[in-house]
Amino acid sequence: MAKNKKMVDAITSMDEDFAKWYTDICMKAELVSYTSVKGCMVIRPYGYAIWENIQKNLDSRFKALGHENVCMPMFIPESLLQKEKDHVEGFAPEVAWVTHGGSEKLEDRLCVRPTSETLFCEHYAEIVHSYRDLPKLYNQWVSVVRWEKTTRPFLRSREFLWQEGHTIHETAQEAIDETERMLNVYADFCEKDLAMPVVKGRKTDSDKFAGAEATYAIEALMHDGKALQAGTSHYFGDGFAKAFNIQFTSRENKLEYPHQTSWGVTTRLIGAIIMTHGDDNGLVLPPAVAPVQAVIIPIQQFKEGVLDKANEIKEKLAALGIRVKVDDRDQSPGWKFAEHEMRGVPIRIEIGPKDIESNQCVVATRFNGEKQFIALDGEFEGKIKELLDKTIPEGMFAKAAENRRNKTYICKTTDEIIKALEEKGDGFVKAMWCGEEACEDKVKELTGVGSRCMPFEQEEISDVCVCCGKPAKKMVLWGKAY
């Protein structure tokens, strides 16, 4: 261990400087690289492979529910963006403007999409005429641009990758159901596949998406006690339909406005993975999205039979669909251990001449650093698969859930909030709220934590607002946000 420590000493410890630790991982695990385009980044092969695995997983979940992928233009004419009043107010200040095409100055300048509600609405106005045309369950995988002032890899950048689902329905209830259904898809993906516990809830009005009637979100707690919004799902009512004049002939043969939703997750999820699971040795990846799930490191690889055995094990695991590699580079095992730890590979398999003699190998699991001997018999591949599919994700989830439990404070007064944060550090605060925006603001001012969401799972902490003492309407989850 001492040896490994030394090899990765270029990473700042997370306790020393969490922000620097985060950036170090992004760079040393070769997830991203900076460019001369301010606020934008290169997503490097290892980082992009994580995103591809996220995409593949979510895309098949979406398609199983009947969603179809489309592709809208990346540009939105200013006149189109302006059609929904709240929406343009929310987004116009942070968009990039295209003013010239070649040498020609554009009459109606174009913004690079910050989100595509307006384009989907324009298209729906063209193709939706009857209840028979509904619902439309569309999604697209694209990048969007928001002109952020300060940026950080994955968490906040001027361009980021995401999926944006946009659906349109006959009735309000159907649209509300879709909004909740997709939030549940996100939550299930985060908890099962990313091993990251999330709180599902509704945003307060001050925190709603520009143009939405209701915004739902999943909130995760990072290792440093800060909150990260990991996905959102919006219910629009018929506001956009009215602004864009989308109407359909109903079953009762009347002209009606349809109801819409949108929902999205972004490359931010990679930031969430880093800050939920990472440690001082680097990245720790959940097996479901790890580009390499198991790495086999031959010990004394020059000795006869070692590499052959390593490749034999590899073939057996690959046959089960496991993403596995043999690292036979001309480097010491210790150097390789450190590198694959840095890159968060879930399982390391060590195989050397002595292991081969006793027909076994050493299997180390990245998330808890544990090592065990496993016999190279007929049950070997099954055991590795069990580790990847069950033991590791469940263990990672339990570890993250425990961190969250330790950092969740139930408070009845703002003083209690201040005290908890001071004594135990940043975390989630559960406290009651009267529903007034003034109290929301005041809590933030006094304690530093803002409202993250009103969790679907409400608890009865007290019957009065944590701030004003008037009757409480909702338990709110508070926290400092990324």
Q: Which two tokens stand for residue 241?
A: 């339909």
Q: Looking at beta carbons only, is 123 or 259 nearer to a second copy?
A: 123
CA distance 336 to 3: 11
Using rule CB under 8 A, residue 127 touches a second copy: yes
Asked if residue 378 binds a second copy (CB under 8 A), the reply is no
Among positions 7, 57, 133, 147, the unique one binding a second copy when judged by CB under 8 A: 147
CA distance 414 to 416: 5
Nearer to a second copy, 225 or 264 (CB): 264
Residue number with CB closer to a second copy (32 or 182): 32
78 binds a second copy (CB under 8 A): no
> Which of the 8 DSSP states describes residue 102?
T
Region from 116-124, 224-232, 352-360, 455-463 binding a second copy, contact rule CB under 8 A: 116-124
User: Measured from the CB of residue 128, what is the shortest distance to a second copy in angstroms?
Assistant: 12
Stretch that binds a second copy, among 123-131, 181-189, 237-245, 295-303 (CB under 8 A): 123-131
State yes or no: residue 358 binds a second copy (CB under 8 A): no
- Is 297 a residue that touches a second copy (CB under 8 A)? no
The nearest distance, CB 47 to a second copy, in angstroms, is 8
Binder among 8, 57, 75, 448 for a second copy (CB under 8 A): 75
Q: Which candidate, 154, 143, 162, 150, places its Cα nearest to that of 33?
A: 154
Which helix (DSSP H) or strand (DSSP E) does residue 32 occupy?
strand 32-34
Asked whether 75 and 110 are in contact (CB, 8 A), the reply is yes
How does DSSP classify residue 362? E
Range in contact with a second copy (rule: CB under 8 A) among 143-151, 352-360, 370-378, 474-482? 143-151
Is the CB of 70 or the CB of 446 nearer to a second copy? 70
412 three-state secondary structure? coil
CB-count burial class (<10 Å; 0-12, 13-18, 19+) for 8: middle
CB of 110 to a second copy, least distance (A): 7
- Tell me how many residues contact a second copy (CB under 8 A): 53
Which H or E run contains 421? helix 414-424
Minimum distance from CB of 229 to a second copy (Å)?
A: 22
What is the residue whose two structure tokens read 């290792």? 223
Q: What residues have CB less than 8 Å from 44, skipping those under 6 apart?
A: 30, 31, 32, 33
**Nearer of residues 145 and 183 to a second copy, judged by Cβ:** 145
What residues contact 102, with CB distance under 8 A and at least 6 apart?
none
**Minimum distance from residue 116 beta carbon to a second copy (Å):** 10
For position 448 contacting a second copy by CB under 8 A, the verdict is no
Q: 215 and 237 in contact (C-beta within 8 Å)?
A: no
What's the CA gap between 95 and 112, in Å, rounded?
A: 7
Q: How far apart are CA 466 and CA 415, in angstroms?
A: 9
**Does 305 participate in binding a second copy (rule CB under 8 A)?**
no
Q: Whose Cβ is closer to a second copy: residue 22's or residue 138's?
A: 138
In 343-413, where does DSSP find H-type helix?
353-357, 380-386, 392-406
Phi, psi torsion values for 55, nearest 5 degrees? -55, -50
Site string for a second copy, 35-74 (x = CB under 8 A): xxx--xxxxxx--xx-xx---------------xxxxxxx
Residue 123 binds to a second copy (criterion: CB under 8 A): yes
CB contact set of 461 (below 8 Å; sequence gap of 6+): 410, 411, 412, 430, 431, 432, 475
The string of DSSP letters for 237-269 reads ETHHHHHTT--EE-TTS-EE--EEEEEEEETHH
Stretch that binds a second copy, among 118-126, 237-245, 268-276, 374-382 (CB under 8 A): 118-126
Angle between the N-to-C axes of helices 392-406 and 268-277, in degrees from 0 to 180, rounded to the nearest 10: 80
x-or-dash string of contact with a second copy, 155-194, rule CB under 8 A: ---xx-x---------------------------------
Choice from 82, 90, 94, 416 touching a second copy (CB under 8 A):
94
Interface residue with a second copy among 33, 60, 358, 372 (CB under 8 A) is 33
In whole angstroms, the minimum distance from the beta carbon of 9 to a second copy comes to 21
222 binds a second copy (CB under 8 A): no
Chain positions contacting a second copy, by CB under 8 A? 33, 35-37, 40-45, 48-49, 51-52, 68-77, 79-80, 93-104, 110, 112, 119, 122-123, 126-127, 138, 142-143, 145, 147, 158-159, 161
